[in-house]
Structure 1
Amino acid sequence: MTGPTISVVVLRHIVHCLDLAGFPPEPLLAECDIRRESLDDTRAIMPLADYLAFFEAAAERAGNPCLGLQAGRLGGADSLGALSFLFFSAPTLRAALTGFDTYLGAIQEAVRHRFTVSAGIATFEYALTDQALQNRRQDAEFSLALMYNLCRSFVGPEFELVEVRFEHSRQGNARLHRDLFRCEVYFDQETNSFSFEESFLSRTGGAIDPGLFPIIEEHLERSAGDPLRRHGLVREVRRLLEGSALDEPVTLASVAMTLGVSVATLNRALRVDGLRWRDLVHERRMTAAARLLRHSQRDIAEIALAVGFSESASFVRSFARHYGHTPKRYRDAGSDGS
């Protein structure tokens, strides 16, 4: 597999939720060339793009635009394999979220995940970093709903959120979102995240013996392995670029320092694949802009800033050269279904 991957354990949970909803997943699994028995292999991985396509198609076929939310609400200690058990064996919620943040990469690639605390508010952030992965609504809603459910199961029913944010636009009535998260929910935001009072971080769990935490952590650390050895140099360069902010991407020099090689070595490796660093940065910006135009209601000037342009005129020119259409025409064509 050349693209980003995800553990089949995650898809197994989605399939189980379809079963519970009375929607037979077998025809869609067959269309996606996925054997149901393969979902029981905890070491197996699949292309992240295929997982996202299955999730979006399942929601559409089942006539359930909130499938991701509902699947997240049903998440538990076995939903993410060893990562879920690490979460519930943590001594405190802070340790649980820190461990999750550290080892999510062991089961899913091309994801930016951060757990931060500032001014008394803790925030968990989740976003796919591969801008070519366009349809991501179900995954985003599933991921935040699942994390909220894990936190609430760890702390208890008194766990409350301050706010929830999603990258994508609202579709229809957001009542189900507010009912699930029990707080204000905002759409067309820069990332997917939820926030809560810092005081909850010291709460203890007890669902699983905390003595298992270091054992599970060691297992996940071995599973993650050395990314450079696992991915190869050029793919690791792409991964580090994708993981940086769109409006302030990493430099080639900082990537070289992270990987422990020289800038000249990186440039040579890119040239072998017919690539240049500046082209990778530009392509990522344009792909992100196209996704935001099609899947959000943010205005063009805001999108220009979000993808790293200081003013909208240069963004419009650059986008038109890249795609052959102005941003407005590109967005209008998408809304017309063309």
Structure 2
Amino acid sequence: MGEAMISAQFLRHVANCMELTGHPAAGLLDGIGVGRELLDDPDGMIPLASFLAFFEQAANLVRNPHFGLHAGRLAGSDSLGPLSFLFLSAPTLRQAFLSFTRYLSAMQQASTNQFVDGPGGATFSYGVLDQSLPHRRQDAEYSLGAMFSLARQFTGGEIELREVRFEHERVGDYARYREYFGCDVFFEQDCNAFSIDAHYLDLPGRVLSSSLHPILEDHLRRKAGDPGGLTYADRVTAYIAARPLDDPPSIADAAAHLGLSVPTLGRRLRAAGTTWRELLHEHRMVAAARLLRDSRRSISAIALAVGFSESASFIRSFSRHFGQSPHRFRITPPR
């Protein structure tokens, strides 16, 4: 598998936000080998690792631990390239989230995002899948902040969030998070996500004509080179990632979500070279690796958090999966 890439247009917004603080971005851009002309190229792509590193370095340079939230607050119709326009031209807020999550992969690889719509409300979740990429806090806070900003623009400011969850530990002032999102914010959680009440989902857009939406969908579908959308293995992985680690879904839950029978889902996963058990195990191991690297939880607490009843079986499973014990992984995580 090649190096994960992301649209250079995403970096353009972050670089512009940095320069609004009075700090030129040229030095950091040179450091990751990106010229200004690439930022303006609608088809330009850069390594995801470079984007994440730039974000963290920019936060340090401007001395703002909340730089990701700052960039999210400033997100607008041109911040995420055609994805911003796709979101803002949707006929309803529900469709805005569904379309965005369907086509993010056209502009950012090695990431997961999902919109789970239930009777009482909905949850949008986002995360970088590659555990070898260590610089992810600013990106996570920006991604949720930008989606909240787009949703507020879409609804004319009517939307309020129920709660926000982040994978990482809190850094900086909690009041800044509370003030921006207007709700409780939790840290060291299973995923980066926010939840909204159901009555907001049918609100119409107030920014762009919905006649643009199918045109933008077609553009992003062709850009992704995937007229049929995600594979079933991709959809199952995203579905698992959006559920609580300590209450994982069953294969019956996933099959019902995808509109399939359990045997049919099993056959389609085997055709893709995997199984339900393998996908669920991979998710638990990836989550455990993240918690070992990014939190101070004990190994026994992490074992419980990812669904193991006791530490010994977790240590054996983790050691087989990664070739080293959880303790050794925490000391020297793979690069």
CA contact (8 A) 2:89 2:205 kept: yes
For residues 134 and 198 of structure 1, what CA distance do their matches in structure 2 show? 35
CA contact (8 A) 2:161 2:194 kept: yes
Deviations 1:130-184 (A, max 9, x none): 2222321111000000000000111122321111000111113211111100110
SS at match of 2:24: coil
Residue 176 of structure 2 corresponds to 176
CA contact (8 A) 2:69 2:145 kept: yes
CA contact (8 A) 1:131 1:284 kept: no
What is the identity, as a one-letter code, of the residue corresponding to 1:23? H
Moved more, 153-162 or 306-315: 306-315
For residues 45 and 302 of structure 1, what CA distance do their matches in structure 2 show? 39
Inter-CA distance 24–109: structure 2 relative to 1 (3 Å threshold): same
For residues 278 and 189 of structure 2, what CA distance do their matches in structure 1 show? 27
What is the TM-score with the length of structure 2 in the denominator? 0.81
For residues 116 and 254 of structure 1, what CA distance do their matches in structure 2 show? 19
Residue 19 of structure 1 corresponds to 19
Residue 291 of structure 2 corresponds to 292
Residue 74 of structure 2 corresponds to 74
Which structure 2 residues correspond to residues 246-325 of structure 1 after superposition, within 5 A?
257=268, 262=271, 266=273, 288-307=287-306, 309-319=308-318, 322=322
For residues 239 and 156 of structure 1, what CA distance do their matches in structure 2 show? 33
Inter-CA distance 156–56: structure 2 relative to 1 (3 Å threshold): same
Which structure 2 residues correspond to residues 41-190 of structure 1 after superposition, within 5 A?
41-190=41-190
Cα deviation, residue 70, structure 1: 0.5
What is the identity, as a one-letter code, of the residue corresponding to 1:90? A
For residues 284 and 92 of structure 1, what CA distance do their matches in structure 2 show? 32
Q: CA RMSD in A?
A: 3.4
Inter-CA distance 51–298: structure 2 relative to 1 (3 Å threshold): same
CA contact (8 A) 1:19 1:25 kept: yes
SS at match of 1:113: strand
For residues 95 and 170 of structure 2, what CA distance do their matches in structure 1 show? 33
What is the identity, as a one-letter code, of the residue corresponding to 2:268? M
For residues 282 and 50 of structure 1, what CA distance do their matches in structure 2 show? 29
Unaligned runs of at least 5 residues, structure 2: 252-263
Deviations 1:268-287 (A, max 9, x none): xxxxxxxxxx9999887655
Cα deviation, residue 128, structure 1: 1.6
SS at match of 1:143: helix
Unaligned runs of at least 5 residues, structure 1: 229-235, 268-277
What is the identity, as a one-letter code, of the residue corresponding to 2:315? V
Inter-CA distance 326–162: structure 2 relative to 1 (3 Å threshold): closer
SS at match of 1:202: coil
For residues 23 and 49 of structure 1, what CA distance do their matches in structure 2 show? 22
Which structure 2 residues correspond to residues 219-258 of structure 1 after superposition, within 5 A?
219-226=219-226, 243=238, 245=240, 257=268
SS at match of 1:101: helix
Moved more, 21-30 or 129-138: 129-138
CA contact (8 A) 1:160 1:196 kept: yes
Inter-CA distance 174–164: structure 2 relative to 1 (3 Å threshold): same
What is the TM-score with the length of structure 1 in the denominator? 0.80
Inter-CA distance 16–137: structure 2 relative to 1 (3 Å threshold): same
Inter-CA distance 324–214: structure 2 relative to 1 (3 Å threshold): closer
Cα deviation, residue 46, structure 1: 1.3
SS at match of 2:6: strand
CA contact (8 A) 1:4 1:47 kept: yes
Inter-CA distance 49–243: structure 2 relative to 1 (3 Å threshold): farther
CA contact (8 A) 2:126 2:192 kept: yes
Identity of aligned residues (%): 48
CA contact (8 A) 1:188 1:298 kept: no
